[in-house]
């Protein structure tokens, strides 16, 4: 698989990486046996970049990943996150960026993952009441202690990234980025390029919608997408037309819609690293093959026009999910 540098950390990771959130929460009931099989299949294909967070399944996702790391720790880059605090069974959240919480959260993540060092540790969401210098300072102390290799931020503004980078190098910024979520193009992508920071694109397939295979009516009870504005009412009808156009484009190219969506992302900038999720192994090879698809400038312009930011209907999160997200 293609490799890209994780900023200037000295780490390189597979493109694509693997987003693991859905194996524990938000997209239907968890199936640990199926998830472990998917992770094993990913390793066999060459995936070596796993993305998790302490809030995914309230620690379940980190423990799941920890259960498959034995014998391959030195060949897998593990990224996890802190900062979102939720009650079991609840979607609403509060944000904790206090230095004391950063230290406690890191220890808890290390324990669940069963490792001595986290490769990439993100501040998952920002609490504006805590100065970014204090947050990054606390994270930097984890690097000094050998508990973390590289630092990252998630859903931050260019100004926050620059201020954080002045305290300690930021290896990666993670934000939602896809054909239907293009906010990072307003300035965050360019700031990452200027600072030598990797841009990790989560939900690069629009939470499955851009694959053209998602049956929204059949989503499980409790699936996060049932309450997402883009999957409801008139917004859903409008967005379905976009997905159909993407599917038609993909058929012209002899590819799947998911592959075209990922190929578009990989072509944006050499520092972009998409991390599509996969609950089943059947999607892994399809996603991995997307990096071999080369879109010419005319095709990229066509996709850019089709998915112009104002063409996508609905907010990308319900109101509760926007807590801690800074403008890109």
Nearest-angstrom CA–CA distance, 178 and 17: 15
Residue 56 annotated among the catalytic residues of the structure: yes
CB atoms within 10 A of CB 88: 6
Q: Which of 31, 9, 12 is nearest to 22 (CA)?
A: 31
Q: Which residue in 56, 121, 122, 202 is the catalytic one?
A: 56
List, in sequence order, the alpha helices (H) in 215-311: 233-253, 257-268, 284-289, 297-306
Q: What does each C-alpha distance from 100 to 44, 97, 103 come to in angstroms?
A: 39, 8, 5
The tokens for 141 are 């102390």
Distance CA 34, CA 43 (A): 14
User: Looking at residue 177, what DSSP letter applies?
Assistant: -
Token pair listed for 193: 């390029």
- The three-point CA angle 176-182-185 to 5° equals 105
Length of the chain: 328
Please list the active-site residues. 56
């Amino acid at each position: 698989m293609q490799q890209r540098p994780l900023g200037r950390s000295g780490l390189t990771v597979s493109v694509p990486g693997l987003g693991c959130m859905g194996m524990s929460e938000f997209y239907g009931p968890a199936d640990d046996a199926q998830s472990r099989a998917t992770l094993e299949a990913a390793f066999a294909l060459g995936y070596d970049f796993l993305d998790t967070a302490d809030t995914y399944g309230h620690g379940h996702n980190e423990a799941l990943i920890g259960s498959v790391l034995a014998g391959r720790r030195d060949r897998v880059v593990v990224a996890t996150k802190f900062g979102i605090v939720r009650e079991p069974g609840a979607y609403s959240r509060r944000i904790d960026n206090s230095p004391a919480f950063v230290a406690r959260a890191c220890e808890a993540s290390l324990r669940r993952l069963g490792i001595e060092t986290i490769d990439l540790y993100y501040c998952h969401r920002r609490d504006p009441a805590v100065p970014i210098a204090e947050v990054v300072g606390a994270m930097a102390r984890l690097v000094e202690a050998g508990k973390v290799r590289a630092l990252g931020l998630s859903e931050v503004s260019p100004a926050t990234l620059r201020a954080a980078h002045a305290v300690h190098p930021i290896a990666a910024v993670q934000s939602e980025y896809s054909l239907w979520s293009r906010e990072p193009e307003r300035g965050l992508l360019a700031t990452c390029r200027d600072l030598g920071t990797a841009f990790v694109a989560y939900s690069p397939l629009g939470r499955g919608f851009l694959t053209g295979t998602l049956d929204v009516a059949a989503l499980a009870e409790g699936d996060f997408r049932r309450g997402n504005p883009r999957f409801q009412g008139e917004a859903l009808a409008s967005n379905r037309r976009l997905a159909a156009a993407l599917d038609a484009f993909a058929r012209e190219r002899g590819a799947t819609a998911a592959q075209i969506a990922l190929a578009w992302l990989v072509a944006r900038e050499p520092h972009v690293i998409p991390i599509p999720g996969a609950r089943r192994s059947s999607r892994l090879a399809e996603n991995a093959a997307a990096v071999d698809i080369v879109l010419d400038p005319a095709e990229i312009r066509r996709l850019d026009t089709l998915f112009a930011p104002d063409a996508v209907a609905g907010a990308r999160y319900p109101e509760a999910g926007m807590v801690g997200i800074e403008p890109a």
